[in-house]
Chains A and B, each alone.
Chain A
């Protein structure tokens, strides 16, 4: 019998950010105990895989580290990224129908340019996997559904210009929670308008509101987009017991969502109620992804679970209406926006790295071309990194960037190099993950 679900379980019992940090050794201990006690690893429906160590070039298809990604990470990051690559291989080889990389450290706050750790993340493991699926398996259209309570600002940053990656994130409203972003009008750069869907929910939203949103909007958008693969950034901190957020979703809510979503690959993100939520939410997601009965997965203690406020559903209905309209009109909006901006489009970003107190100022420019998908230029300056203050001028070349664009990009980089303003001048080759230093 072909197994339904490939499971990569890597709790990183020897990795932490600091001893009392939410990202500490203990995080998946109780989940490990629950999965072992349930006997899930013995099921014929589930096949276990080991993570492998990702290579630096795997990371560099998604990231440009300053001074380099190799100097910013630990072997734990290579392992959690490698866990995602193992999940991708398991599904793409046809050995299993779906896969779940239950790994840490997490990644969805890590952006394209990396100066340090932000939001517990250094390497965006989903983005690394998406680029791997493209380079190794030639997959084009991918949907990433982020079910973490925090806005996945790193994933948004990396996928923002890519019309072939649909990024959908529902999360607790950024006015009430880290990282403070993730509003509906952040819908993608002009060429990719509408493929970045942000759905900020009111604190206190529970299973009811979540599934109202899924059934009323997310499912329709996914059906329309017709992705070749669906990836779930399976954060679990919408749970009613999470200490860092204020939502009211249960293990049943999460398991039902996994069942409806039918993601090809799920990747663990946040979730810090390590005793009261993670053991049950993960059991529920695993059973749902393995096409098994999850109806009996209920937290033994639901005394902290509150009924959701009626305003929560109102917000959900508003999102369904407004974002539905944004989605339906995406092609015409793209045309208008592109006509307005001409050959290039820029955005200015102020990025704060909460773990290390780094402040980064960044200007990112998407250059458009009629023959190819163009390229990006990034000007970044960061204060307070572990390497001191640092700056870089970066060009990011896509897989299909044409030779003309390449020449223009290199000319600009050489010019920036000559004016001597930047510590580093770097060229990212997304196709093979090479970073060239000029």
Chain B
């Protein structure tokens, strides 16, 4: 059995899944002051009649890191950067960084080592417990970062996060912010992990405990401690995984999870949700934390309707419930009912709600249709922005330009309570067929329960320099002779599998995310080759579940 727990803004859900069906489920109010309390209540209810030794894995999608950051419950961090020449980064990070000399160039050559003399006085005493260290091009050569981290350790810092260990990809500003936020939330997250472990032990649950990450993958608790900021914004990720669990669309599609307050929009290709091109922004600062290519738009079943000079405005404010189910103000759901788009609740009450919005000479049906149109056009505009965002991803080859990288959706997939009616209307407007999977009301907890562990890593080999580097591990070795792309793939896959084993993850297939091969020339002669490779363990979900109405 797989146990999934999702801590949402309002409710904390737990589900137990076995043999492709949902065995048990529970819903409790989220306890914001003590998140763990709500988790345990939901957990205890779902396990009431179950044998705990049957549990194979527990996955928690929590708001612990998100809340720590939004509520400012973070630790002060000493941020040391080695920028070398380039952009002025004084406004790029949440705190003013301490600048350390030392530079690595784009080929991974150390052009300046750290001048310890210069920094003696300032580095000598730890100002606080947590530190983050980041150098430009440290993913090409982490030596300066290691040296600086070693020095800080000697100064008495308790925990030091390194940019190169948090992301193997180029983008110094994002890696630095990731390292900073990781350090800032580390203690809160560590505390939470310890409490979870203790509580599960009390309940005799010995199965491995994972947390969900923003990219829809999971990691064991102790490993997640190395990158705590990755566990931010997992709610939307869980919702996407929930759709995947119901049987993901195979053609290029757009999924819309219509809730009470918001609609979550994601893009799909080859049965997988697309990952965003860039990392997420945390507190307004770009980070290297990957997530799905998603947007949340403030349109949901309980959205408030307002008359404007030109028509209607729907959301983003939530007032619900709808009048059809006993509310006292008309919502989008009421409009959908009167427009004949959905059929639940008290039709007469919904009708009455629409009449409240009518001007002289208008009928309730006319107004309902206008309201639905207004809601649909907001969603459509968001989709168009997402399509544009996707289409301007970089093109590096003529072939890319000719082929195009536009995302051309062929299908809309609607899930969530009010999905059917709203998405049908959207489909008509966009000229796309609509699919509403059976049992479309799947909770995020299901997605969390079924998420696979994810693990990605990069390898860069520069034959002129004569070494290869896996920045995520710091592994830097001399190149064997006759090095080729094929050898690079074997090396990196081997490292991923080794890492998976060490972390007790299931042995998944490794796949190539991207690769580049360049011949380097010096003075008109071949001087070597540059191979860049990025691979991951295949992401996704462990199994699909049979769709079934889950009335939480």
The answer to the question of B318 belonging to the interface, with a C-beta cut-off of 8 Å to chain A, is no
In the complex the two chains form, what is the Cα distance from A280 to B88 in whole Å? 13
The answer to the question of A407 belonging to the interface, with a C-beta cut-off of 8 Å to chain B, is no
Question: Is the Cβ of A15 less than 8 Å from the Cβ of B87?
Answer: no
Q: What residues of chain B lie closer than 8 Å to A397, measured between beta carbons?
A: none
Question: Is the Cβ of B521 less than 8 Å from the Cβ of A300?
Answer: no
The answer to the question of A322 belonging to the interface, with a C-beta cut-off of 8 Å to chain B, is no
In the complex the two chains form, what is the Cα distance from A82 to B84 in whole Å? 35
Give the segment of B44-52, B102-110, B228-236, B370-378 that binds chain A.
Answer: B102-110
In the complex the two chains form, what is the Cα distance from A11 to B519 in whole Å? 15
Complex interface bits, A18-41 against B, C-beta within 8 A gives 1, otherwise 0: 011000111001101110111111
Question: Is the Cβ of A48 less than 8 Å from the Cβ of B85?
Answer: no
The answer to the question of A297 belonging to the interface, with a C-beta cut-off of 8 Å to chain B, is yes
Question: Is the Cβ of B398 less than 8 Å from the Cβ of A79?
Answer: yes
In the complex the two chains form, what is the Cα distance from A82 to B402 in whole Å? 12
In the complex the two chains form, what is the Cα distance from A275 to B518 in whole Å? 14
Q: What residues of chain B lie closer than 8 Å to A75, measured between beta carbons?
A: 398, 401-402
Question: Is the Cβ of A292 less than 8 Å from the Cβ of B87?
Answer: yes
The answer to the question of B155 belonging to the interface, with a C-beta cut-off of 8 Å to chain A, is no
The answer to the question of B523 belonging to the interface, with a C-beta cut-off of 8 Å to chain A, is yes
Kindly state the interface size class of chain B when it binds its partner.
Answer: 35 or more
Chain A, residue nearest B109 (CB): A300
Within 8 Å by CB of B105, from A15, A26, A39, A300, lies A300
Q: Which residues, 39 to 54 on A, are CB-close (under 8 Å) to B? A: 39-42, 48-53
Chain A, residue nearest B405 (CB): A50
Q: Which residues, 351 to 373 on A, are CB-close (under 8 Å) to B? A: none
Q: What residues of chain B lie closer than 8 Å to A14, measured between beta carbons?
A: 397-399
The answer to the question of B520 belonging to the interface, with a C-beta cut-off of 8 Å to chain A, is yes
Question: Is the Cβ of A301 less than 8 Å from the Cβ of B173?
Answer: no
20 other A-B residue contacts (CB within 8 Å) besides A76-B398, A292-B88, A299-B85 = A20-B524, A25-B518, A26-B518, A26-B520, A36-B170, A37-B106, A37-B136, A38-B136, A42-B173, A42-B286, A49-B392, A53-B401, A243-B523, A275-B107, A279-B106, A292-B87, A296-B83, A296-B88, A298-B85, A301-B111
A-B contact pairs, 5 of them (CB 8 A): A33-B170, A36-B171, A39-B286, A48-B392, A74-B398
The answer to the question of A293 belonging to the interface, with a C-beta cut-off of 8 Å to chain B, is yes
The answer to the question of B525 belonging to the interface, with a C-beta cut-off of 8 Å to chain A, is yes
B164 to chain A, nearest CB (A): 12
Q: Which residues, 82 to 131 on A, are CB-close (under 8 Å) to B? A: 82
The answer to the question of B197 belonging to the interface, with a C-beta cut-off of 8 Å to chain A, is no
Q: What residues of chain A lie closer than 8 Å to B526, measured between beta carbons?
A: 19-20
A32 to chain B, nearest CB (A): 7
Q: What residues of chain A lie closer than 8 Å to B524, measured between beta carbons?
A: 20
Chain A CB within 10 Å — which of B83, B397, B399 has the most?
B397
Chain B, residue nearest A52 (CB): B401
Complex interface bits, B106-119 against A, C-beta within 8 A gives 1, otherwise 0: 11000110000000
In the complex the two chains form, what is the Cα distance from A297 to B87 in whole Å? 7
The answer to the question of B438 belonging to the interface, with a C-beta cut-off of 8 Å to chain A, is no
Question: Is the Cβ of A300 less than 8 Å from the Cβ of B85?
Answer: yes
Q: Which residues, 378 to 402 on A, are CB-close (under 8 Å) to B? A: none
Complex interface bits, A41-80 against B, C-beta within 8 A gives 1, otherwise 0: 1100000111111000000000000000000001110010
Q: Which residues, 148 to 191 on B, are CB-close (under 8 Å) to A? A: 170-174
A249 to chain B, nearest CB (A): 16
Q: What residues of chain B lie closer than 8 Å to A30, measured between beta carbons?
A: 106-107
**A residues adjacent to B (C-beta < 8 A):** 9-15, 19-20, 24-26, 29-30, 32-34, 36-42, 48-53, 74-76, 79, 82, 243, 275, 279-280, 283, 287, 292-293, 295-301
Q: What residues of chain B lie closer than 8 Å to A12, measured between beta carbons?
A: 396-398
Q: What residues of chain A lie closer than 8 Å to B513, measured between beta carbons?
A: none
* Among all A-B residue pairs, the 6 with the closest Cβ atoms: A39-B173, A300-B111, A293-B88, A14-B397, A36-B170, A298-B85
Within 8 Å by CB of B278, from A42, A50, A296, lies A42
Question: Is the Cβ of B172 less than 8 Å from the Cβ of A37?
Answer: yes
In the complex the two chains form, what is the Cα distance from A324 to B339 in whole Å? 76
A123 to chain B, nearest CB (A): 14
Question: Is the Cβ of A295 less than 8 Å from the Cβ of B88?
Answer: yes
A42 to chain B, nearest CB (A): 5
Question: Is the Cβ of B84 less than 8 Å from the Cβ of A39?
Answer: no
Q: A24-B521, A53-B402 are in contact. Are A296 and B394 (CB under 8 A)?
A: no
Q: What residues of chain B lie closer than 8 Å to A298, measured between beta carbons?
A: 85
Question: Is the Cβ of A13 less than 8 Å from the Cβ of B397?
Answer: yes
Question: Is the Cβ of A283 less than 8 Å from the Cβ of B87?
Answer: yes
The answer to the question of B137 belonging to the interface, with a C-beta cut-off of 8 Å to chain A, is yes
The answer to the question of B92 belonging to the interface, with a C-beta cut-off of 8 Å to chain A, is yes
Complex interface bits, B375-404 against A, C-beta within 8 A gives 1, otherwise 0: 000000000000000011011111101100
A145 to chain B, nearest CB (A): 25
Q: What residues of chain A lie closer than 8 Å to B521, measured between beta carbons?
A: 19-20, 24, 26
Question: Is the Cβ of A29 less than 8 Å from the Cβ of B286?
Answer: no
The answer to the question of B361 belonging to the interface, with a C-beta cut-off of 8 Å to chain A, is no
Chain B, residue nearest A279 (CB): B106
Q: What residues of chain B lie closer than 8 Å to A33, measured between beta carbons?
A: 106, 170
In the complex the two chains form, what is the Cα distance from A15 to B394 in whole Å? 16
Chain A CB within 10 Å — which of B84, B87, B88 has the most?
B87
The answer to the question of B86 belonging to the interface, with a C-beta cut-off of 8 Å to chain A, is yes
Question: Is the Cβ of B398 less than 8 Å from the Cβ of A280?
Answer: no
Question: Is the Cβ of A29 less than 8 Å from the Cβ of B530?
Answer: yes
A31 to chain B, nearest CB (A): 9
Within 8 Å by CB of A39, from B171, B392, B396, lies B171
Q: What residues of chain B lie closer than 8 Å to A52, measured between beta carbons?
A: 401
Chain B, residue nearest A252 (CB): B85
Q: What residues of chain A lie closer than 8 Å to B84, measured between beta carbons?
A: 300
In the complex the two chains form, what is the Cα distance from A74 to B402 in whole Å? 12
A13 to chain B, nearest CB (A): 5
Chain B, residue nearest A300 (CB): B111
In the complex the two chains form, what is the Cα distance from A275 to B464 in whole Å? 13
B114 to chain A, nearest CB (A): 14
Question: Is the Cβ of A37 less than 8 Å from the Cβ of B107?
Answer: no
Chain B, residue nearest A83 (CB): B401
B29 to chain A, nearest CB (A): 38
In the complex the two chains form, what is the Cα distance from A30 to B137 in whole Å? 12
Q: A25-B518, A37-B137, A79-B398 are in contact. Are A50 and B111 (CB under 8 A)?
A: no
Chain B, residue nearest A287 (CB): B87
Chain A, residue nearest B107 (CB): A275
A297 to chain B, nearest CB (A): 6
A161 to chain B, nearest CB (A): 33
A295 to chain B, nearest CB (A): 7
Q: What residues of chain B lie closer than 8 Å to A50, measured between beta carbons?
A: 391-392, 395, 401
Chain A CB within 10 Å — which of B86, B173, B402, B518 has the most?
B86
Q: A42-B286, A79-B401, A275-B106 are in contact. Are A51 and B87 (CB under 8 A)?
A: no
Q: What residues of chain A lie closer than 8 Å to B106, measured between beta carbons?
A: 30, 33-34, 37, 275, 279
Q: What residues of chain B lie closer than 8 Å to A51, measured between beta carbons?
A: 395, 401
Question: Is the Cβ of A300 less than 8 Å from the Cβ of B518?
Answer: no
In the complex the two chains form, what is the Cα distance from A51 to B136 in whole Å? 29
Within 8 Å by CB of B396, from A13, A295, A297, A301, lies A13
A61 to chain B, nearest CB (A): 21
Q: What residues of chain B lie closer than 8 Å to A283, measured between beta carbons?
A: 86-87
Q: Which residues, 79 to 109 on B, are CB-close (under 8 Å) to A? A: 83-88, 92, 103, 105-107
In the complex the two chains form, what is the Cα distance from A276 to B45 in whole Å? 64
In the complex the two chains form, what is the Cα distance from A280 to B86 in whole Å? 7
Q: What residues of chain B lie closer than 8 Å to A38, measured between beta carbons?
A: 86-87, 136, 172-173
Chain A CB within 10 Å — which of B137, B395, B402, B520 has the most?
B395
Question: Is the Cβ of A32 less than 8 Å from the Cβ of B111?
Answer: no
In the complex the two chains form, what is the Cα distance from A249 to B21 in whole Å? 69
Q: What residues of chain B lie closer than 8 Å to A279, measured between beta carbons?
A: 106
Q: What residues of chain A lie closer than 8 Å to B172, measured between beta carbons?
A: 37-39
Question: Is the Cβ of A29 less than 8 Å from the Cβ of B85?
Answer: no
Q: What residues of chain A lie closer than 8 Å to B286, measured between beta carbons?
A: 39, 42
Chain A, residue nearest B86 (CB): A38
In the complex the two chains form, what is the Cα distance from A292 to B89 in whole Å? 11
Within 8 Å by CB of A300, from B112, B394, B397, B399, lies B112
